[in-house]
Amino acid sequence: MEKDTNKNTYVLQGDDGVGSVQIADEVVAMIASLAATEVEGVSAMAGNITNELMSKVGVKSLTKGVKVDVIGSNVRTDLTLTMEYGYNIPATCQKVQEKVKNAIENMTGLTVTDVNIRIASVNMNPGK
Going along the chain from its start, the domains and CATH numbers come out as 25-123 (3.30.70.1350)
Residue 14: pLDDT over 70: no
- In percent, how much of the chain has pLDDT > 70? 74
**At 51, phi and psi to the nearest 5?**
-60, -25
Q: With a cut of 70, say whether residue 16 has pLDDT above it.
A: no
pLDDT digits (tens, 9 = 90+) for 20-38: 777 888 889 999 999 999 9
Residue 49 · residue 61 · CB < 8 Å:
yes
Global pTM reads 0.79
Of 74, 76, 36, 20, nearest in space to 11 by CA? 20
Question: Would you mind telling me the total number of residues written for the chain in this entry?
Answer: 128
**Mean pLDDT, residues 62-83:** 89
Q: Which residue has the higher pLDDT, 21 or 97?
A: 97
What's the mean per-residue pLDDT of the chain?
81
Distance between CA 73 and CA 1 in Å, rounded? Answer: 6
* Rounded percentage of the chain residues whose pLDDT exceeds 90: 52
Query: What are the C-alpha distances in Å from 118 to residues 20, 21, 37, 107?
Result: 35, 32, 14, 24
Q: Residues 44, 47, 48, 50: what is their CA dihedral angle, to the nearest 10 degrees?
A: 40
Q: What is Dmax (Cα atoms) for the chain? A: 53
